[in-house]
C-alpha cells in the first residue's frame, strides 16, 4: 500500500523552495502521521512549498494536513485526487474546526490529533470501510508517541530540520488561538528521557522546540533543562513572558543552551491583553523582563497582535515605539485573525463582523473582519507599515550594535534573520 501525505502551499513557481527559506520548516505533523502509520505501508511526504504535487504518484490513499490559510489549495488537491478515484483523508487545524466543510472534499476527516486513531483509519481503508469522521476519545499519551519520520524529508531543501516536541496543550485560553481547542487545555508532556534520546539521534548542535510554551509546566521544564545541560546543544523555543519571573529557572534554561525565545507579548496595551484573555501579562514589566532574558544571553523575538476592539489608529505608533523601547531583537506584527474554532471567530460571526470567508486570506497579514475604531483597510495598511519601519536598515544596525555590546557571538545569526525578514517583507508587500 502506498500512502501519500501532502502539506499544501501556495507558492510562486519561480520561487519554489527559495521563498522565505530561513523560515521554511518541514511539515512535522505529517512526519508524526508517518510515524503512526503501520510498518507495512510505504509512505511518501510531499511539501508543496519545495516541490509540486505529483498527481501521477501511484498512491492508494492520500492524507492532507490543512491550515486555514491553505484550505482552498488543500481542497483543490483533494478534489483532483478524488476525481482520479483515489481516497483522500483530511486532517489538521482547519478540518478539525470545520469538519462538515472539509468532508465535502474528502472521504474521511480526522478531527484532532492523529496518533491513537490513524492506524484505525488505515485499517478501515484497507477493509473498504472508511468512515466519514474519526476522533480520539482521549488525547494521546505522549509517552507512547513515536519520533517523527524525518527520514522522509528532503533535508537538503530546508535550512533547519532538528525540531523536537516535548509537550502539547496549553492551560491558557486566548480568544484568538486555536491551540487549546485542538490540543486541549491540559499540559501534556513527553518523558524527558524520550526527548533526550530523540535529540541525541539527531546529531545536531542546534535544536528547535516546537512546543507552544516550553515553560508551560515549570516542574517539567526544570527536569528537561537539567538533562539538556549535559547534551551540549544550543536551543530555541516559544515561551510566555512570565518565565522572567522565575530567575532560577531562567538561569537554568540559559545554562542548558537556550539562546533564543519567541514570545507572544501580544500588545503594549493592558486593555487589549484583557480582551485577548491574556490579562495576566503586564506590559509595564516587559522592558525589565526582556532585560533579564538578555542578561542571561537569550535573544528575544516578540510577537504583537493588532486590531482589538478597544484600539484606535494610535495603537500602531504606540506598539512600534514600544517594541523598540523594550529592546526586542526581532519583532512580529500580526493582524488579529478570527480562525475557525476560536472564541474570537464565534463572537465576530455572531456580531456579523466577518466580511471575508476566503480562507486564503486568514494569514494574519490580511484584515478579514470589521474593526470597531478603524477600517479594515487602515488596519492592514498600518500593520504593513510597522513591518517596514521596524526592519529599516538603520533599525537593524542599531539592534546589531546593541547586541554586539551584549552578545557579540550572536551578531551574525541576528543579521541573517533581520535581512531575511526584510526580503520577505519586500516579497509579500510587492516592494
Whether residue 228 lies inside any domain: the answer is yes
Whether residue 299 lies inside any domain: the answer is yes
Q: What values do phi and psi take at 115, rounded to 5?
A: -60, 140
Domains contained in the chain, number: 2
- Angstrom distance (rounded) from CA 336 to CA 338: 7
pLDDT of residue 68: 97
Q: Are 266 and 302 in contact (CB under 8 A)?
A: no
Last residue of a domain, one of 355, 373, 390: 390
pLDDT of residue 407: 62
DSSP H or E segment with residue 47:
strand 42-47
- CATH number reported for the structural domain that contains residue 276 in this entry: 3.20.20.70
pLDDT of residue 281: 83
**Residue 216 sits in the same domain as residue 320:** yes
pLDDT of residue 128: 97
Task: Tell the residue number behind the cell numbers 528575544, with chain if given.
Answer: 300
**Residue 168 sits in the same domain as residue 129:** no
Whether residue 426 lies inside any domain: the answer is no
Whether residue 142 lies inside any domain: the answer is no
Whether residue 417 lies inside any domain: the answer is no
Whether residue 266 lies inside any domain: the answer is yes
**Residue 108 sits in the same domain as residue 169:** no
Q: Are 418 and 399 in contact (CB under 8 A)?
A: yes
**Residue 40 sits in the same domain as residue 168:** no
Last residue of a domain, one of 120, 135, 150: 135
**Residue 84 sits in the same domain as residue 129:** yes
**Residue 90 sits in the same domain as residue 235:** no
Last residue of a domain, one of 360, 375, 390: 390
- Angstrom distance (rounded) from CA 180 to CA 178: 6
pLDDT of residue 42: 98
pLDDT of residue 41: 98
Cα 5 to Cα 63, 78, 150, 404: the distances in Å are 5, 11, 13, 44
**Residue 253 sits in the same domain as residue 384:** yes
**Residue 85 sits in the same domain as residue 207:** no
Q: How crowded is residue 277: how many other Cβ atoms within 10 Å of its Cβ? A: 15
pLDDT of residue 11: 65
- Angstrom distance (rounded) from CA 380 to CA 392: 19
- CATH number reported for the structural domain that contains residue 39 in this entry: 3.40.50.280
Mean pLDDT by 10 residues, the chain (431 residues): 96 46 79 97 97 97 98 98 99 97 99 96 98 95 94 89 92 80 88 98 95 93 98 95 94 96 93 84 92 94 96 97 94 97 95 98 97 98 96 87 65 78 80 61
pLDDT of residue 22: 47
pLDDT of residue 331: 96
**Residue 50 sits in the same domain as residue 186:** no
Task: For residue 167, list its beta bridge partners.
Answer: 189
pLDDT of residue 429: 81
Whether residue 149 lies inside any domain: the answer is no
pLDDT of residue 277: 78
The domain in which residue 26 lies consists of 2-135
**Residue 124 sits in the same domain as residue 168:** no
In the chain, % helix, strand, coil (3-state, to 5) comes to 45, 15, 40
pLDDT of residue 44: 99
Whether residue 330 lies inside any domain: the answer is yes
**Residue 245 sits in the same domain as residue 121:** no
- What is the four-CA torsion angle of 337, 342, 345, 347, rounded to 10 degrees? -130
**Residue 276 sits in the same domain as residue 381:** yes
Amino acid at each position: 500500500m502506498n500512502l501519500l501525505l501532502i502539506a499544501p502551499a501556495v507558492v510562486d513557481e519561480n520561487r519554489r523552495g527559495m521563498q522565505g527559506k530561513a523560515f521554511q520548516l518541514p511539515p512535522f505533523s505529517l512526519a508524526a502521521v508517518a510515524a503512526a502509520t503501520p510498518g507495512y505501508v510505504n509512505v511518501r511526504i510531499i511539501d508543496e512549498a519545495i516541490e509540486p504535487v505529483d498527481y501521477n504518484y501511484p498512491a492508494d490513499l492520500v492524507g492532507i494536513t490543512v491550515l486555514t490559510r491553505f484550505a482552498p489549495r488543500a481542497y483543490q488537491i483533494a478534489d483532483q485526487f478524488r476525481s482520479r478515484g483515489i481516497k483522500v483523508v483530511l486532517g489538521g487545524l482547519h478540518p478539525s474546526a470545520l469538519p462538515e466543510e472539509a468532508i465535502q472534499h474528502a472521504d474521511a476527516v480526522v478531527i484532532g490529533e492523529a496518533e491513537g486513531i490513524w492506524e484505525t483509519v488505515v485499517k478501515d481503508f484497507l477493509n473498504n470501510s472508511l468512515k466519514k469522521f474519526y476522533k480520539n476519545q482521549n488525547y494521546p499519551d505522549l509517552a507512547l508517541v513515536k519520533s517523527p519520520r524525518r527520514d522522509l524529508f528532503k533535508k537538503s531543501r530546508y535550512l533547519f530540520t532538528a525540531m523536537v516536541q516535548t509537550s502539547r496543550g496549553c492551560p491558557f485560553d486566548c480568544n484568538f488561538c486555536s491551540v487549546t481547542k485542538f490540543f486541549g487545555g491540559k499540559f501534556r508532556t513527553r518523558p524527558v528521557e524520550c526527548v533526550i534520546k530523540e535529540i541525541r539521534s539527531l546529531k545536531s548542535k542546534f535544536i528547535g522546540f516546537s512546543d507552544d510554551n516550553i515553560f508551560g509546566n515549570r516542574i517539567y521544564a526544570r527536569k528537561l533543562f537539567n538533562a539538556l545541560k549535559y547534551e551540549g546543544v544550543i536551543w530555541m523555543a516559544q515561551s510566555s513572558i512570565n518565565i522572567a519571573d522565575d530567575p532560577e529557572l531562567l538561569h537554568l534554561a540559559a545554562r542548558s543552551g537556550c539562546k533564543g525565545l519567541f514570545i507572544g507579548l501580544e500588545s503594549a496595551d493592558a486593555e487589549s491583553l484583557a480582551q485577548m484573555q491574556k490579562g495576566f501579562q503586564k506590559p509595564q514589566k516587559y522592558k525589565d523582563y526582556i532585560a533579564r532574558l538578555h542578561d542571561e544571553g537569550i535573544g528575544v523575538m516578540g510577537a504583537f497582535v493588532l486590531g482589538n476592539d478597544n484600539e484606535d489608529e494610535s495603537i500602531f505608533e504606540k506598539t512600534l515605539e514600544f517594541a523598540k523601547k523594550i529592546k526586542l531583537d526581532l519583532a512580529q506584527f500580526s493582524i488579529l485573525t478570527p480562525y475557525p474554532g476560536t472564541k474570537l471567530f464565534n463572537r465576530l460571526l455572531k456580531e456579523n463582523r466577518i466580511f471575508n470567508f476566503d480562507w486564503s486570506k486568514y494569514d494574519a497579514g490580511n484584515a478579514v473582519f470589521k474593526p470597531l475604531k478603524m477600517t479594515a483597510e487602515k488596519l492592514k495598511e498600518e500593520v504593513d507599515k510597522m513591518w517596514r519601519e521596524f526592519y529599516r536598515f538603520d533599525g537593524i544596525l542599531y539592534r546589531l550594535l546593541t547586541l554586539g555590546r551584549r552578545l557579540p557571538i550572536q551578531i551574525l545569526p541576528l543579521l541573517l534573520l533581520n535581512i531575511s525578514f526584510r526580503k520577505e517583507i519586500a516579497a509579500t508587500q510587492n516592494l
